[in-house]
Structure 1
Amino acid sequence: MSLLMIPGPTTPAQRVMLAMSRPLINHRGPEFKLLLEEIQTGLKYVFQTENPIVILTSSGTGGMEFAVSNVINKSDTVIVPTMGFFCDRFAEIVEACGGRVSRIQIEWGSSVKPDMVEEAFARERNVKAILIIHNETSTGVLVRDLAEISRIAHDHDALVIVDAISSLGGVELLTDKWSIDACVTGSQKCIAAPPGLAFVSVSERFIEEAKRVNRGVYFNLKAYLEYMERGQTPYTPSIPLLYALSEALKMIREEGLEARIARHRKCAKAFYRAIEALDLEPYPFEYEYRSKTVIAVKTPKNIDSEELVKTMRLKHSVVVSGGQGKLRGSIFRIGCMGNVSAYEVLATVNALESSLAYLGYGVEKVGVGLAEAGKVLWSS
């Protein structure tokens, strides 16, 4: 069996997978209502919010479209910092909903900064919303200034919509404290449940704005809120996935959110220490904006990242990802999320060192990265 170390989906715990074998129940019955209440409580803990959280049977992209389509009308102006593949997708969704995108063009590998957002609002009038990718999965960049960016947006009376698909549950994100109007994540990354569910927390202001928009059917916020009052979803949900989600949320509560975030941080530090010991270069060129959940690394010269990924998979049964879009062939990405522990870190570093040596890079460095990662992992 391969070790899955891509930036999602992650490998759920056995108890999470076993939960899906439970008998199905009536999704309009009292048992389902209790299940949904339990899940709402667990999700609110992870989101750090008292706002209602919509549960969608969809991918994270479905959650992104839900958040946009419920508040963006034709010709509404939306600011989107574009610094990677998924930022571009966010902009594409806005345009598909008829909105006008005002892009903050940022070099891939860098992060949006508060001053850039101030300048964007100075250029535009009547901005409806700003859309932020908290953790750009394609480049391994974490937006550390989200709280300040949210404050700036609210000073200009704009909604704040955040894609936290590859960060929530692994990195600090305080939905209510940072005044995030809609926060989107998926089941398959830091929450460590199987893929197929998306979650969107919605503020009171977001709910009010949604009343002014002509919505579709499946992604109609009004329907989800009405059915939420009954302890139901408006359309048939994936009950086995909800069983799994419930178990994954119990595991997060048992570990404690702060401890979980600290574990992600320590594992990421071990990965970065190993990468530096191997004379490799993280793709994000600003140290403080390196992701703690997606480790993006430049491939050495004369080595194609797709060949490196293939070698790690075939010779070591460790599965990592290559680059996306214009980064295909030039970087590789390691998922550091969900149930990641010392075992996964060391197994991945070992596979990386050996595969690089097999491809002709750093033969003399085999074992160096492993030793450095170990120093981080076993330190107090």
Structure 2
Amino acid sequence: MEYLVMLPGPTNVPNRVMNAMLAPVINHRSDDFRTLYKSIVEKTQKVFQTSNDIVLLTTSGTGAVEASVVNLIKKGDKAVIPVNGEFSTRLADLIDSWGGQAIRINAPPGENPPYDKFEEAFENHKDIKALYAVYNETSTGTTIRYMDKLGQLASRKGAYFIADAVSILGGDELPVDKWNVDICVTASQKALAAPPGVSPLSVSKRAKKYMQENPPPTQYLNLKRYFKYYEEHFETPFTPALPLYYAFREALDMVLEEGMENRIRRHRVCAEAFYAGLSSLGLTPFAKPDARSNMIIAVNYLHGMDDKKFRGLLSSEFKVLIAGGFGDLKGKVFRIGSLGEVGRYHVMRTISSIASAMNMLGIKTNPEATSIAMDRLKALG
């Protein structure tokens, strides 16, 4: 039996996408590559729902997030950012370390700050340059459900709006142009169900103009170089990871074939099945109801449940891989990645395995848990 990868990322990758990497390596300064690159850019624009420029970085999602900071933030620039978990904290720290001033709107992990706190921040600081937001906080299974309002606010105040959508784009709503997102960042290995290593960004016209006129003192993450090479040659300035490009193109094809509306619905239904099935086992979600993610299911451990033993049993006995908690949440929660290729099989096998592992640890469980989850999955049709 193969491992079932139910991590927050990387996720299970369809065989069709993996097989795409068997294509021969080509010259990245050739017409063949230019055709490949243009195709990926056009498909990425459709998935992002944008007409903005697309930059493909051969990095992890962290590299693309860093690019969104180093190309926009200068010394002394103020940037508002909600902070409610590990990745939003890292982003705020990155802004500070680059010489900017992160205006943190804090909320307890598992919750989102009230929207009016952002209005207050712009009232109290008249010179805010940017509003950054981690759309889906992977460390706590928390999603901001007012991203559209943040985009409207930033646009109204003349600030740039940057969405860290690393673990959510391709699985939940994110119409980049409609929501006034100036820079949107994601990564291949999450909801797009491709191997890790490709991180696309969309960049609005005004953000692009700023970057071209104010390039950062960097080489690899200098987006001005990427704009120039694409416009003049349909190439990347540095050698791309060609096999990953082939895989990413195939993954984009699968997203577009399914259709964004259907894909988002599938992720929502699977998340609802997870929450219902796990709740019937006596487990409670970590995030508050109005902030719960459809991508990352973060769950509180019951008293006496040992993280290492529990996840070890899932791995060794059932070949199911899930993640533990970060930082202060280590040993207190476990996290399931319900994203990418997720469907009936993934949900049912995971819940069944969790119930069995709990029984092996001496914890009585509801034998109807899988039936409850299956009932929710009927909505998939």
TM range (shorter): over 0.9
Aligned counterparts, 1:82-93, within 5 A: 82-93=83-94
The answer as to whether partners of 1:2 and 1:318 remain within 8 angstroms in 2 is: yes
Instruction: Give the aligned partner of residue 325 of structure 1.
Output: 327
| Corresponding residue for residue 15 of structure 2 | 14
Partner of 2:111: 110
Deviations 1:65-86 (A, max 9, x none): 0011001001111111110000
After TM superposition, give the deviation of residue 197 of structure 1 in Å.
1.0
How has the CA–CA distance of structure 1 residues 4 and 126 changed in structure 2, closer, same or farther, with 3 Å as cutoff? same
| In structure 1, distance between residues paired with 2:305 and 2:248 | 39
Superposed CA offset, 1:149-188 (max 9, x none): 1111222211111100110000010100000000000000
CA distance in 2: counterparts of 1:102 and 1:169, whole angstroms: 29
Corresponding residue to 2:251 among 244, 248, 253: 248
- Are 1:257 and 2:292 matched, yes or no? no
What is the rounded CA distance, in whole Å, between the counterparts of 1:213 and 1:237 in structure 2?
21
Query: With structure 2 as the length reference, what TM-score do the two structures score?
Result: 0.97
Match of 2:208, SS state, is helix
Give the equivalent residue in structure 2 for 1:344: 346
Letter of the structure 2 residue corresponding to residue 264 of structure 1: H
Q: Tell me how far 1:304 sits from its aligned partner.
A: 2.5
Letter in 1 for 2:223: L
The answer to whether 1:39 aligns with 2:36 is no
**Counterpart code for 2:372:** E
Structure 1 match to 2:191: 190
Q: Secondary structure at the match of 2:180?
A: coil
1:64-213 matches, within 5 Å, as 64-210=65-211, 211-213=213-215
In the TM superposition, residue 215 of structure 1 has moved relative to its aligned partner by: 3.4
In structure 1, stretches of 5+ residues that fail to align are none
Query: In structure 2, how many angstroms separate the alpha carbons of the residues matched to 1:148 and 1:305?
Result: 38
Output one character per residue of 1:126-145: Cα deviation in whole Å (capped at 9) or x when no partner: 01111100000000011010
Looking at structure 2, the residues matched to 306 and 60 of structure 1 have their Cα atoms a distance apart, in angstroms, of 27
TM-fit CA distance, 1:364? 4.2
Give the Cα separation in 2 of the matches to 1:53 and 1:360. Answer: 52
Secondary structure in 1 aligned to 2:39?
helix
SS of 2:22's equivalent in the other structure is coil
Partners in 1 of 2:328 and 2:154 — Cα distance? 30
The number of residues matched between the two structures is: 377
Q: What is the letter of the counterpart of residue 131 of structure 2? A: I
Secondary structure of the 1:45 match is helix
Match 1:355 to one of 354, 357, 362: 357
Q: 2:294 aligns with which of 289, 292, 295?
A: 292
Specify the alignment match of 2:240 in structure 1. Answer: 237
Post-superposition CA distance 1:303-344 (Å, at most 9, x none): 123322112111111000000111100000000000111000
Partner Cα distance (1:150, 1:364) in 2:
44
Task: Determine if contact 1:299/1:330 at 8 Å carries over to the other structure.
Answer: yes
3-state SS of paired residue (1:55): strand
Give SS of 2:105's match. Answer: strand
Give 2:304's match in structure 1, choosing from 298, 302, 305.
302
Q: Is the 8 A contact 2:358 2:365 kept in 1?
A: no
Task: Indicate conservation of the 8 Å contact 2:282/2:365, yes or no.
Answer: no
3-state secondary structure, aligned to 2:113: coil
Shift of 1:209: 2.1
Q: Distance in 1 between matches of 2:13 and 2:173?
A: 21
For residues 244-265 of structure 1, the C-alpha deviation after alignment (integer angstroms, 9 at most, x for no partner) is: 0011111111111111111111
Q: CA 1:123/1:372 → structure 2, altered by over 3 Å: closer, same or farther?
A: same
Long gaps (5+) in structure 2: none
The answer to whether structure 1 residue 376 and structure 2 residue 376 are counterparts is yes
**Paired position in structure 2 for 1:281:** 284
Give the Cα–Cα distance (whole angstroms) in 1 for the partners of residues 357 and 106 of structure 2: 36
- Give, as a single letter, the amino acid of the residue that structure 2 aligns with 1:122: E
Q: CA-atom RMSD, angstroms?
A: 1.1
CA distance in 2, matches of 1:352, 1:111: 28
Matched to 1:279, the amino acid is G
By how many angstroms is 1:105 displaced? 1.1
**1:213 Cα deviation (Å)?**
4.6
Aligned mates of 1:251, 1:160 — CA distance in 2: 29
Counterpart AA for 1:36:
Y
